[in-house]
Chains A and B, each alone.
Chain A
Amino acid sequence: MSTNTYDAIVIGSGISGGWAAKELTEKGLKTIMLERGKNIEHIKDYVNANKGPWEFEHRGGRTQQMIDDYPVLKRDYPLNETNLDFWTNEKESPYTEIKRFDWFRGYQVGGRSLMWGRQSYRWHDTDFEANAKDGIGTDWPIRYKDLHDWYGYAERFAGISGNKDGVPILPDGDFMPPMEMNIVEKDVQKRYKEFYKDTRHFVIGRTANITVPHNNRTNCQYRNKCWLGCPFGAYFSTQSATLPAAVATGNLTLRPWSIVTKILYDKNTKKAKGVEVLDAETNKTYEFFAKIVFVNASALNSAWVLMNSATDVWEGGLGSSSGQLGHNVMDHHLGVGAGGRVEGFEDKYTFGRRANGIYIPRYRNLNGEKRDYIRGFGYQGGGSRSGWSRDIAELNIGGDFKDALTEPGSWGFGMGGFGETLPYHENKITLDKTNKDKWGLPILAFDVECKDNERKMRIDMMNDAKEMLENAGVKDVKSYTTDPVLGRGIHEMGTARMGRDPKSSVLNGNNQVWDAKNVFVTDGAAMASSACQNPSLTYMALTARAVDFAVKELKKGNI
């Protein structure tokens, strides 16, 4: 056996790649996990995690140099001084925007599991049935019952804190104890309940931060520094959770700096035999062989790998026979919501920095309601007390002003919407072969936009936010909206969707590529619709389920 031969290959080491590696190795398969970027060692490489705010030269802000170096990242909050190294170097890895698309990437071991928002929600049958009911895209080949047990499995290992709220549209999970709402959130929740009864719900966020010790990980210390890497391992990441589990089996090989350029497809067996890797440091090419390939490079890069593979058989790449590869790009549209002032509670503050907020699950277009758009949206938000830098109207300058800066300001409450995006065939990524990245590889071109359904939904997202906050007693509520740009949600989905028919989908109900049964795609690319919940928990469940299937098939000799 060549040293480059394994039982399984996993492309990518983010949330879903880490899960694939853990599941495959725990089932006894010798597995290599290939990561295109640098290594990040748990704790040791979290270089900024233990700094006080004053230790950052610009207090965490952004310099003009950073703005020049990161023309995409600068468009939103991710460009900052505290974790710049976790975001992809845009000069080395550019992409083409036929239409604007904000692609915020993390090329390193752990991928974006190091910087993710950690909100973790199950989907509901309403979500899995939506495409079929609306006659849009393709029907999901699975239903909630197919994922139910896997959701629980993923939650129990990842460690999701949350409350069993009994909200029909948002199934409860196997949670750790929930985080607590602060006094203002509780007050707003009370009035919200009085107004909306059981028609709408206001719950504590369900987050992948552990609230009790778990698998050698320390429970959340309320530092709210989650995107710097957590020295306590308190939030789920590849490094804190799946990687140590995979390493413990003795079956894992992790290879950073490994850009998978293509999956090696064998025409005779109609299966993949391995992958080709370009070493990002040495520019040397290697081949790795395995019985199973899991593609977890994140939705858009997973599609990129497939597009570059088996082009001698299918011009558009492996999985393109359906005409769907690279199409149906989805995200959640956001940047719309409302906020206001909360009176009272001046004698109360919060101690500790809770990296979580409240959640209002979807309530639109349910129970027979029909708006002038389909699907729905949820909100994330929270109550907080304004900080020390506030402008104090009655004081201008001087010693009294300086002393007043030590007093907290007034309470406020704000929230923003996350809206479902439909799978439009014409929203697509393609290979731009005229432009290359640092390694001479073709880059992606984006032709993706929000359409009428999203724009109509956003009117409700803005107006409902204001109305609900006013109904819950928040004062001086101001709503806001922005031009909807996809990518900003950092929830890319849909480019290699699951389905029931090889003519209209890239993957079957077990995340198998129809055209190569030993290739599995279990990241956001697999999604046939986007729902409005944060999607990563669903990727975890899909991955664990697909590995279970893959290993059974392997043992049966079917792949």
Chain B
Amino acid sequence: MNRRIAIRNMALILGSAAILPSCLTDKGKPVVQLKKLKVDADQEKVVNNLAETILPKTDTPGAAELGINLFVFKMIDDCYDKEHQADFIKGLCDFADAAKKQLGKSFNEATVAERTAFVNTVDINAKNEKYKDVTKLTAFYKMVKDQTVFGYTTSKYFMTKQIVYELVPGRYNAYFPVKKLAAV
């Protein structure tokens, strides 16, 4: 076999075995257990902080306290295809880069107010159909926001404390007043 083809094939095999981020900085191992995604501790923290910025702790628990960040990683690690996982990793780098450029410091080092301001801009862009993003930042952000909101609204805390989920409603009321928190 032609040596160059052999090397290329080897690279393809390696490339499909793990999704390697382009900006891997190797700043320690992440806490979250991942099967396919490769992120370092710093990048993990970016996602954790982003989830908490989307749904912060107020007088009710936020994403971090409820472990929503772990859910986000689990869903993207287990349920997304290779292409989307690659976008996630690439977009995570793009997000970190853009934050650093705008804030003059890393997203993780920024204050809550600074993070909120930055993510607000990202969110507005993500909702703007005309906004064109040449990077994967928006794609990454949408994945994290979707899974953060999904994870939160299907969490035990939300379904038992914020709304009332009854495992056995026992009846169907077709005209239930909204004022009383309704079961789903």
Contact = CB atoms under 8 A, between A and B. Distances in A.
The reply to whether chain A is a binding partner of chain B is: yes
Contact of A405 (B56, B79, B119, B153): B153
A58 interface: yes
B81 interface: yes
A455 to B, nearest CB: 32
B116 A388 contact: no
Interface of A: 50, 52-54, 57-59, 61-65, 67, 179-183, 185-186, 221-223, 346-354, 387-389, 391, 393, 396-399, 401-403, 405-406, 408
A181 B60 CA distance: 36
B169 A223 contact: yes
B168 interface: yes
Contact of B184 (A59, A62, A387, A393): A387
B182 A59 contact: no
4 closest residue pairs by CB, A with B: A352-B169, A352-B172, A351-B173, A388-B153
Given A54-B155, A223-B169, A64 B81 contact: yes
Interface of B: 53-56, 58, 60, 62, 74-75, 78-81, 116, 119-120, 123-124, 127, 145, 149-156, 158-159, 162-163, 165, 167-179, 181-184
20 contacts: A53-B159, A53-B165, A59-B151, A63-B79, A185-B174, A221-B168, A223-B167, A346-B178, A348-B177, A349-B178, A351-B169, A389-B149, A397-B54, A397-B119, A401-B54, A403-B60, A405-B149, A405-B153, A405-B158, A405-B162
Contact of A222 (B151, B172, B177): B172
A59 B150 contact: yes
B172 A61 contact: no
Nearest to A389: B153
A402 B169 contact: no
Nearest to B62: A402
B159 A54 contact: yes
Nearest to B58: A399
Nearest to B124: A396
A348 B75 contact: no
A397 to B, nearest CB: 5
A223 B168 contact: yes
A59 B153 CA distance: 11
Contact of A50 (B58, B127, B167): B167
B79 A402 contact: no
A402 B150 contact: no
Contact of B55 (A62, A349, A350, A402): A402
B174 A181 contact: yes
Contacts of A58: 74-75, 78-79
A61 B184 contact: no
Given A50-B167, A347-B178, A354 B153 contact: no
A408 B168 contact: no
Given A351-B182, A397-B119, A397-B120, 6 more contacts: A54-B154, A179-B172, A353-B172, A396-B127, A397-B53, A398-B56
A61 B172 CA distance: 26
A59 B154 contact: yes
A352 B173 contact: yes
B174 A64 contact: no
A402 B58 contact: yes
Nearest to A399: B58
Given A54-B159, A352-B170, A405-B152, A396 B75 contact: no
Nearest to B157: A54
A65 B78 CA distance: 8
Nearest to B182: A349
A61 B71 CA distance: 13
B150 A389 contact: yes
Contacts of B163: 388, 406
B123 A397 contact: yes
B75 to A, nearest CB: 6
B64 to A, nearest CB: 13
Contacts of B165: 52-53
Nearest to A397: B54
B159 A52 contact: yes
Contacts of B79: 58, 61-64
Nearest to A347: B178
Contacts of A396: 119-120, 123-124, 127
B177 A53 contact: no
B124 to A, nearest CB: 6
Given A53-B159, A223-B167, A402-B55, A183 B81 contact: no
B184 A63 contact: no
Contacts of A346: 178
B168 A348 contact: no
A222 B182 CA distance: 14
B177 A347 contact: yes
Contact of B60 (A186, A352, A401, A402): A402
- B75, B174, B178 pick with most chain A CB within 10 angstroms: B174
Contacts of A347: 177-179
B158 A350 contact: no
B176 to A, nearest CB: 4
Contacts of B178: 346-349, 408
Contacts of A348: 175-178
A349 B172 CA distance: 11
A387 to B, nearest CB: 7
Contacts of A398: 53-54, 56, 116
